Amino acid sequence: MQRYHFRPYSPNQTILFPQRIDKDIAENDPVRLISSIVESLELSNFRRLYKERGRSPYDPKMLLKVVIYAYMNNIYSCRRIEKALKRDIHFIWLAGYEQPDFITINRFRNRVKDEISNVFTQLVLLLSAKGLVSLDVEYIDGTKIESKANKYTFVWRKTVEKNRAKLMEKIKVLLAQVDDAIAQDKAADEEVVSFTPETLTEIADELRQSLSEQPAPMSKEEKKTIREKKKQVAQLEKMRDKLSEYDNHLETLGERNSYSKSDPDATFMRMKEDAMNNGQTKPGYNLQIATENQFITDFGFFHNPNDTGTMTPFFESFSNRYGHFAKEVCADSGYGSEENNSFMESHEMEAYVKYNFFHKEQKRAFKNDIFRTENLYYNPEGDYFVCPMGQHMERVGVSHGKTDSGYRTESVVYRAKNCQGCPLRWGCYKKRKGNREIEVNHRLMEYKRKARERLTSERGLEHRSNRPIEPEAVFGQMKYNMHYKRFRHFGKDKVTMDFAFFAIAFDIKKMAAKVLKQGNMPTNGGQYMHPATSYMRVWGLVWSHKAENMKKAA
């Protein structure tokens, strides 16, 4: 008879001398890097968020480590973090056997929403001190992320303005029907200036007062008249409330065309993730990020669905965060406007930014099209263009434009003298009557010429080859590897807080991957250390040497 021997098994055994919590954690596990980095950060501002008296709260460093590690492992729910603190040895080690509940974790995230951006800045400065990023190059791109708001809670500017105009007409008609001197005088005063909820409240109060001062009605006709007047006053108050609602909508909209009722900071945009394939707009935010070596160095949220108007304020965000503008900027054609190029040139930034038709200009069909404005000969001394038939197109006027941010553009209009009977009219000018006119923005044309020279240079080719693997790769990892496709909070401030945690976790995860890929890391003395030891010593060494500069910059 065979005998089987198994190792002793006793789930409820008692250990006299407890072992270290991190005994079963690998020496090169990224959780050790998180602990080392957070310990080296300057978190004195976190202490000001707590009261000096009362029950002792959990250590903010511990909570920060736990939340960052949760985001690194695609855990964004506070309830799931609470569960991991009881099951996962990595979370247990980070928390030191502390087990805060999901409410405490959520309160911590909301409490530090104004300070977490500073933590992200410190982390990027640590990456810069370690040589992983230089903060001299920005690869900029944007993506739209859906809000937590319901997609059917939309408010559209055009609809509000249209209904408000109809309501104003109804108010004028109602006041005209009210047989009272007060209402008639108010209606006459408001013929030029539109009504406001305050003026309608005054009219309704005065009408009610006039009705209360009248003697008691005796006949049926008098009673009927009083009832009609009270009904009109009630209608006026109802219209006043509706007008106040429309005004509140317009105030919330600001310069936007739409917003969501459940998340007023979210704007309706077209998303790439369209499950129904019907082009339906959804409430969301336009996320702009700057990357270098696939590390996130800056981020910002904007209501504008297109990328053109976000570049200038995004540059200001980078400057406020690190104290200087980047020396080189690389972006796609969505950012190649005259305003953006003017800003980059005035701040001495090398702009490797494409513009519309950049790739199309390189094709033979574009270059051989003699009718295109870009291919017409221009004489700067005489300030005229030459059409394909050799006729001069003289300057006849100037048109001005203005962007949403207030930047003024100037375009010059040129017109041919006589296009009648021209044999090339069929391909040159589509209108049957008149002479051909072209509108040229000389400043924009000069910016395009400079951009073309930079983009086709050796440095430009390098940036163009790196751009698709910089922000695009970050977006791919964010949405498909880390499943960060939709926000879980309402409001721009909480959305910014949530993504700041994500950006910190993303950069640390990238740092850990690079350390593990490189193997052992050398110290300043040339001696090699184990990755776990290098996490603790190298980062601590960098912080001690760079503390003063990084504190000032942060």
Considering only residues 518 and 453, tell me which one the structure prediction assigns the higher pLDDT: 453
Q: E strands within 309-383?
A: 328-331, 350-353, 377-379
pLDDT of residue 296: 95
What the block records as the tokens of 43 is 């978190």
Residue 195, pLDDT above cutoff 60: yes
Considering only residues 227 and 108, tell me which one the structure prediction assigns the higher pLDDT: 108
- CA terminus-to-terminus distance, the chain: 74
Give one DSSP letter per residue of 92-150, joined into a string: HHHHTT----HHHHHHHHHHTTTTHHHHHHHHHHHHHHTTS--SSEEEEEEEEEE-SS-
* Distances 406 to 267, 287, 400 between C-alpha atoms, Å: 21, 22, 12
Read off the pLDDT of residues 201-258 as tens digits, 9 standing for 90 and up. Answer: 888 888 888 777 777 777 777 778 778 888 888 888 888 899 999 999 999 998 889 9
Read off the pLDDT of residues 445-501 as tens digits, 9 standing for 90 and up. Answer: 999 999 999 999 999 999 999 998 899 999 999 999 999 999 999 999 999 999 999
Question: For 2-6, 19-23, 202-206, which range has the lowest pLDDT when averaged over its residues?
Answer: 2-6
**Mean pLDDT confidence for 110-123:** 92
pLDDT of residue 545: 39
What the block records as the tokens of 401 is 């434009």
Residue indicated by tokens 């250390």: 529
Residue 3, pLDDT above cutoff 60: yes
CB 210 within 8 A of CB 186: no
SS (H, E, C) 497-542: HHHHHHHHHHHHHHHHHHHHHHCCEECCCCCEECHHHHHHHHHHHH
Q: At what angle are helices 458-466 and 442-455 packed, to 10 degrees?
A: 90
**Mean pLDDT confidence for 169-193:** 66
DSSP-derived 3-state class of residue 354: coil
Q: Give the span between the Cα atoms of 119 and 319, in whole angstroms.
A: 16
Residue 551, pLDDT above cutoff 50: no
DSSP-derived 3-state class of residue 549: helix
Q: At what angle are helices 338-346 and 311-322 packed, to 10 degrees?
A: 30
> Based on the number of CB atoms within 10 Å of its own CB, is 486 exposed (0-12), middle (13-18) or buried (19 or more)?
middle
Give one DSSP letter per residue of 255-319, joined into a string: T-SEEESS-TT-EEEE-S--TTSS--EEEEEEEEEEEETTEEEEEEEES-SSSGGGHHHHHHHHH
Q: Give the span between the Cα atoms of 56 and 415, in whole angstroms.
A: 79
pTM of the model: 0.84
- How many other C-beta atoms are found inside a 10 Å radius of the C-beta of residue 416? 22
pLDDT of residue 182: 55
CB 124 within 8 A of CB 130: no
pLDDT of residue 125: 94
- How many other C-beta atoms are found inside a 10 Å radius of the C-beta of residue 170? 12
* pLDDT above 70 coverage of the chain, percent: 88
* Cα angle: 98, vertex 104, 108; to 5 degrees: 105
Read off the pLDDT of residues 280-308 as tens digits, 9 standing for 90 and up. Answer: 888 999 999 999 999 999 999 998 888 88
Integer-rounded Cα radius of gyration of the chain = 33
Q: Give the span between the Cα atoms of 537 and 524, in whole angstroms.
A: 11
Query: Length of the chain in residues, anyone?
Result: 554
pLDDT of residue 254: 87
pLDDT of residue 352: 93
